Structure 1
Amino acid sequence: MSTTTHTTEEIDQTKAPSIHLTNLSYTFPSTHSGLSNLTLSLPPKSRTLLIGANGAGKTTLLRLLSGKRLAPSNTISIGGLDPFKDGLEGVTYLGLEWVLNPIVRTDIGVKELLKSVGGDHYPDRKDELVRVLDIDLDWRMHAVSDGERRRVQLAMGLIRPWRILLLDEITVDLDLLSRSNFLAFLKKETETRECTIVYATHILDNLAEWPTHLVHMSLGKVKEWGEIEGFELGEKGYGKTGNSRLGELVLGWLKDDLRERGPRNKGTTSEGTAYLTGGLGGYGAEDAIKAGKRTF
């Protein structure tokens, strides 16, 4: 892969972006190694499942892809652009800090929230998301369940059309039907629009036919990646445990990862540090803030 950085004028940002990582490493300020020599390639319009145990590096990778952290030069290319340094358009990242936004627990109406994020400018998308996520426009946010609140948050995050969607385990509160409908909506998006998705999740219900690609991470490294058809999923149907073929594959991966890693080693891994600001050796947010390039 060429690591030449292109300007925004040279790149057509109406097309679905590809994702390329070349020897990407990232170190936290605590000197914990977050990521180590990641190399992979995901094509435009792909739907990738990012799989791994807690602390595997999934959140760190998604934040780097979203441009929330500065990666070493020429290690990340999204549609030919560096997500931090260049003017990459159409990036939507939905992660922990987004779902913990306190405004969605106040006495405010759903209509007002959807309007505040562009619902009036994209009425068709708003109406579709309200239908898909089974949202009542008369809800008051302080008086709904966590699952209902999460549906509204998803609608808020997805009303504006995006080119690349990065999801960090944001469907945990959805019931089975809502989650199935939501995943079907995302699949349709990549089939009918110019967009690409990377989705980190531990919940594999209704996902067997969803991804085009899998990425397996462990201890800050990519262990396997590629098209879903390239992975051995066993016989058709379900295994003896009742898990789907995809579930059995991932369960085997995580068991192998645990044997390789051993017991949690008293805080010497990078787990839980992905949301810290800053980095080491000029690769964190603090250098960019000093340069006036990014604020948090």
Structure 2
Amino acid sequence: MRTALIAGQGGLPLALSEAMPERPLVAAMEGFAPEGLSVDLSFRVERLVPFLRALTRDGITQVVFAGAVTRPRLDPALLDEGTAAMLPRLMQAMAAGDDATLRAVLEIFEEAGFAVAGVEDIAPDLMPKAGVLAGTVTPQDTADAARAAAIVAALGAVDVGQGAVVAQGACLAVEALPGTDAMLASVAALPPGLRPDPARGRGVFYKAAKPGQDRRIDLPTLGPDSIRHVAAAGLGGVAFQAGEVICLDLARMKALAGELGLFLWARG
């Protein structure tokens, strides 16, 4: 079985490639090259059918998706006949939200004859099991994480986001299209009068997959920068759903959490 890594931006494609027994063929959408990996095959959405044919020509039987992309602007002049026939299906999925779009993409690859693997199939060690990984979780942190988990579940049900910040039961921010970093920056910018007294609990950043999400694509990802942003936002720590969230360089994440006085908790 020969695998293609459909890579986006960020550090996940490299981490996943290094965890595989053989180097995969690395494919990337134009404008979204991965960090630290040379790209073997680039493609555009407008030429999706020729790209699928190229994968077949190169002997690919399995694909795995990793890394961040944003919705590209389509150039109708570049469409081939096969992709043009597929476009209404993709546009309808895009109008229904990110989750529907990703499901449609997976279906297209499967219909083209490719098996689709997930990160947990390729590198399960990137997804920590339940436990407190750094620091100390207080009863207030436990309550805030439970509240944040309920909020993230509600957001995910309408395909909005995978993260929330809660302090002493008050929701300070939720993740939307701008992403996690923008959400944490907005928390850091909140005036003191809009935040609960930190002496009673500094708050929790919580991350989890959406309810019913296909676990083969777009799982939440955390890394050392996440820990730094949480500290800059004045929060007490990070909680995430065990077995659902990818942690890049977990050893460094633990060390940073210790240095910055934060907890890191894979919540079961």
Verify same fold: TM over 0.5: no
Which has the higher relative contact order, 1 or 2, with Cα contacts under 8 A spaced 6 or more apart?
1
Q: Which structure has the highest helix share of the two? A: 2
